């Protein structure tokens, strides 16, 4: 499997099935878009659940956390941050985003999270894309709007436990994160 050839993005976009990025090649198959790639790799690596019910639940978590993350990256505070706004302006926009969007979404996620059957995993009794996607979303939230997680100790504690997993800890320590 070839992941991310070192080509200019214009060239990769021309190669992409729908002209979008990211894109990977797996043999003669070209897959574009973050969620199709995510699901392809998850299926390939066995992280999609073991039953049709688990697979559906994993997909719900992946879609929900992807929407949450996309909304955050498109938020006003990100544009203000990139546009050179003052720290005060960015902080105000983060607070507004946290109250208006993140808190209601995190409340829903937290309720669903607290109702899960296994104490460590989101779906089933092993690591799935649901765990990976939720961890990724919580990491991004903690990095950009850290106070948003303060009202959700279950999610925060779970994120810390996931962060301590050997492979995640090694990635965090490697300096290759962002």
| 56 and 28, same domain (yes or no) | no
Domain residues for the domain of 19 are 2-32
108 belongs to a structural domain:
yes
* Closest C-alpha among 154, 140, 157, 146 to residue 71: 140
Q: Residue 43 falls within a domain, yes or no? A: no
- Do residue 58 and residue 26 come from a single domain? no
Distance from C-alpha of 44 to C-alpha of 24, rounded to nearest angstrom? 13
Structure tokens, 5: 């050839």
Q: Is residue 130 part of a domain?
A: yes
Q: How many domains does the chain have?
A: 2
The total of other beta-carbon atoms located within 10 Å of residue 5's CB is 11
Here the contacts of 160-167 (C-beta below 8 Å, separation 24 or greater) are: 161/120, 162/131, 162/135, 163/135, 163/139
pLDDT score at 3: 46
Percent of the chain with pLDDT over 90: 39
DSSP labels, 111-131: HHHHT-SSSS-SSTTS--HHH
Q: Taking 60 as the threshold, does the pLDDT of residue 89 lie above it? A: yes
> Exposed, middle or buried: residue 37 (CB in 10 Å: 0-12, 13-18, 19+)?
middle
In a domain, 77, yes or no: yes
41 in a structural domain: no
Residue range 15-25: mean pLDDT, rounded = 82
Give the mean pLDDT of 76-103: 76
45 is written with which tokens? Answer: 């690596």
């Amino acid at each position: 499997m070839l992941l991310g050839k070192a080509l200019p993005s214009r060239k990769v976009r021309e190669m992409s099935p729908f002209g979008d990025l990211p894109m990977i090649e797996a043999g003669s198959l070209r897959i574009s878009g973050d969620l199709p790639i995510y699901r392809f790799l998850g299926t390939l690596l066995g992280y999609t659940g073991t039953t049709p019910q688990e697979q559906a639940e994993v997909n719900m978590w992946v879609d929900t956390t992807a929407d949450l993350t996309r909304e955050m990256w498109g938020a006003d505070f990100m544009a203000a941050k990139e546009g050179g706004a003052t720290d005060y302006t960015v902080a105000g926009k983060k607070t507004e985003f946290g109250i208006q969007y993140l808190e209601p979404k995190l409340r829903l996620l937290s309720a669903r999270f607290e109702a899960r059957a296994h104490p460590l995993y989101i779906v089933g009794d092993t690591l799935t894309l649901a765990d990976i996607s939720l961890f990724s979303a919580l990491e991004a939230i903690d990095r950009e709007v850290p106070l948003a997680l303060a009202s959700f100790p279950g999610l925060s504690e779970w994120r810390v436990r996931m962060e301590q997993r050997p492979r995640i800890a090694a990635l965090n320590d490697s300096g290759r994160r962002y």
